[in-house]
Amino acid sequence: MAKILVADKIAQQGIDLLKREHEVEVRTGLKEDELVEAMKGVQALIVRSQTQVTRRVIEAGDVLEVIARAGVGVDNVDVPAATEQGVIVVNAPLANTLSTAEHAFGLLLATARNIPQGHQSLRNGAWDRAKYQGVELSGKTLGIVGLGRIGTEVARRARAFEMHVLAYDPFVSNERASSLGVEMRELDDLLAESDFVTLHTALYEGNRGMMNAERFAKMKKGARLINAARGALVDEQALFDAVESGHLGGAGIDVFSEEPAVGNILTTTDKIVVTPHLAASTNEAQDRAAIDVAEQVLEIFAGQAPRFPVNVPTVDAETMSVLGPFLEAARVAARVASQLASGSLQKVRIEYLGEIGTRDTTPMKAAVVIGMLDGVSTERVSAVNALAAAEAHGLRIEEDNLPAQEPYANLLVVRVTTDRGEERVAVTNTPQGPGIVAINDYPVEVGLGAGSPNLLAIENIDRPGQIGRVGTMLGEWRVNISSMSVSPSPSQSDRALMILGIGSPLTPEQMDAVAKFDGIFSVRQIRLR
């Protein structure tokens, strides 16, 4: 019988499930010192979001085997420390999918029909039928930004309301969207065509404040915005201004840049429906989270693989000794190829050349998926949930094992195919660390060790002076160049590719300025990390 400590309040169903087979102690509200003391003899620790599972707490668990987070994320768990200690971390990523989708759709209905405003008006003694006249959903166009699990559930509900559904998600194939009755669009096109726009994407540095004044101006006059994803996706002042000016017909907001959001500008107008981060707050979601983690704890104690592991190793130590040095290269290859690609994703092909192809390539495949989805998935993508995440996104992955190619003992090639063509990135591992050795048909030398996290890939006419002009302009912008690789095309005698490592990313205006140089065919920016 194992000892299990429940350090945050979870649904009783989960506790009852554990008590059938193990000793369960519920002690909530513990400070770090108290939790460290309580960890002695504990084999499973279950938390929600309040308790911080620090390295100190984990190291105090002398027989700790599993940490279970009864919720979607693991932000309050030191996962690297748990991994170092051999502790399995699991969570419940599906628990609030339906609750969040339903809440987002509830906000959509509320904004379309002015339900909260009408309720408050009648409570105040008025009968303002004309003032709160709304619009029907049937026949309207809904634009979904992020077609993951929650976005997919919203799409299903919108179709039931006879809405025309569009989606923007660079990592969802047209086939996957079509199976849901959804049409894929570029973001700006989606904004221009949609009567309602709902956000269901993860937050990462590249999309912080993505819904800003410029994007609101591109939306239909009278359109409405729904956000039950992440508050920082929206420039709140710009949204307020767009609604108050009448350009937008309203908004429904459940998440804010800072919470609690009492006094937030979005709460000061009755043209915006606001709720205090309630999307996951249902009895069913909390029950599911508790049951999901309780069942996984039982699975682990029974020697089985948990359903939603965060950090479980997948192959034996010998295989990892061969593949380990290539995992970072594989991740970077996918990240670079996905950023070079444009259009709707169709498939990803991974080619293993040399000894790496003779091993269990599951970790390499997972690393490629992480490179493709890290930062854009609504869930944390790790080595143990990468393949499930790929399946959830409808990401089609092909693999092939090929003989070694001189002069490399091992080479990994990632090909990303979209409806606009294919991008190919080849990487290997050297004594200096992982590096890119080819982009499409250009041989390059781009080390990934201590170099810049930002690259510029510039395809230009192969003639003197091109590098100097670009370098001069970057110097005027005070952008440092940390590395350079220049390669003529083997197949097109008049073209060359220069790869520049730069100290800071260029703005869209700076990118446009470089692209306007005579003799430059394309300019693309890549973030390695």
Q: For every residue of 138-183, which 3-state class applies, written as one string?
A: CCCEEEEECCCHHHHHHHHHHHHCCCEEEEECCCCCHHHHHHCCCE
pLDDT the model gives residue 430: 77
Q: Looking at the DSSP assignment, which residues form a beta bridge with residue 428?
A: 435
pLDDT the model gives residue 325: 81
Q: Order of strands across the sheet with 454-461?
A: 481-488, 495-502, 454-461, 520-527
Cis peptide before 407 (omega within 30 of 0): yes
277 is catalytic: yes
CATH C-level class of 97-274: alpha beta
pLDDT the model gives residue 221: 97
- Provide the pairing of β-strand 442-447 with 433-439: antiparallel
pLDDT the model gives residue 15: 97
**E strands present in 185-234:** 196-199, 224-227
**Which of the following is catalytic: 56, 113, 208, 277?**
277
Burial readout 476-499 (b: 16 or more C-beta within 10 A, e: otherwise): eeebebeeebbbebeeeeebbbbb
Note the pLDDT tens digit of each residue in 134-163.
Answer: 999 999 999 999 998 899 999 999 999 999
Percent of the chain with pLDDT over 70: 96
20 φ/ψ angles, rounded to the nearest 5 degrees: -65, -30
Alpha-carbon span 421 to 343, nearest angstrom: 8
230 is catalytic: yes
Residue 426 has pLDDT above 60, yes or no: yes
pLDDT the model gives residue 106: 98
Rounded mean pLDDT of 430-453? Answer: 81
pLDDT the model gives residue 402: 93
Contact 192, 186 (CB under 8 A): no
Residue 490: pLDDT band with limits 50, 70, 90: confident
Tell me the one-letter amino acid at 332. V
- Greatest mean pLDDT among 54-63, 335-344, 425-434, 517-526 lies in 54-63
| Closest of 199, 203, 172, 201 to residue 185, by C-alpha | 172
Q: Give the domain ranges of the chain.
A: 3-94+284-301, 97-274, 313-440, 451-529
Residue 57: pLDDT band with limits 50, 70, 90: very high
Residue 313: pLDDT band with limits 50, 70, 90: low
pLDDT the model gives residue 202: 82
Rounded mean pLDDT of 63-76? Answer: 89
pLDDT the model gives residue 309: 84
**Which of the following is catalytic: 69, 230, 331, 524?**
230
Rounded mean pLDDT of 286-315? Answer: 85
451-529 placed in CATH 3.30.70.260:
yes
Alpha-carbon span 235 to 432, nearest angstrom: 43
Rounded mean pLDDT of 86-110? Answer: 93
Residue 467: pLDDT band with limits 50, 70, 90: confident
Tell me the one-letter amino acid at 12. Q
Tokens for 318, please give them. Answer: 């010998």
pLDDT the model gives residue 450: 55
Residue 107 has pLDDT above 60, yes or no: yes
Two domains, one topology: 3-94+284-301 and 97-274: yes
- Greatest mean pLDDT among 72-86, 232-246, 414-428 lies in 232-246
Tokens for 172, please give them. Answer: 């969802």
Tokens for 96, please give them. Answer: 């609030």
pLDDT the model gives residue 75: 78
pLDDT the model gives residue 330: 92
Note the pLDDT tens digit of each residue in 168-226.
Answer: 998 888 889 999 999 999 999 999 999 999 999 988 778 999 999 999 999 999 999 99
More confident of the two residues 219 and 470: 219
Rounded mean pLDDT of 435-441? Answer: 91
Contact 338, 527 (CB under 8 A): no
Please give the CATH superfamily to which domain 3-94+284-301 belongs: NAD(P)-binding Rossmann-like Domain (3.40.50.720)
Rounded mean pLDDT of 313-342? Answer: 82
Residue 381 has pLDDT above 80, yes or no: no
Note the pLDDT tens digit of each residue in 18-35.
Answer: 999 999 999 999 999 999
More confident of the two residues 380 and 301: 301
Rounded mean pLDDT of 270-290? Answer: 94
Residue 483 has pLDDT above 90, yes or no: no
Alpha-carbon span 183 to 325, nearest angstrom: 40
422 is catalytic: no
Alpha-carbon span 34 to 529, nearest angstrom: 37
Among 3.40.50.970, 3.40.640.10, 3.40.50.10860, 3.30.1330.90, name the CATH number for the domain at 313-440.
3.30.1330.90
Give every CB contact of residue 395 below 8 A, 6+ residues apart in sequence. 171, 173, 345, 348, 369, 372, 373, 389
Note the pLDDT tens digit of each residue in 393-411.
Answer: 888 999 999 999 889 899 9
Contact 89, 310 (CB under 8 A): yes
**Which of the following is catalytic: 214, 259, 355, 391?**
259
Residue 442: pLDDT band with limits 50, 70, 90: very high
Alpha-carbon span 31 to 51, nearest angstrom: 8
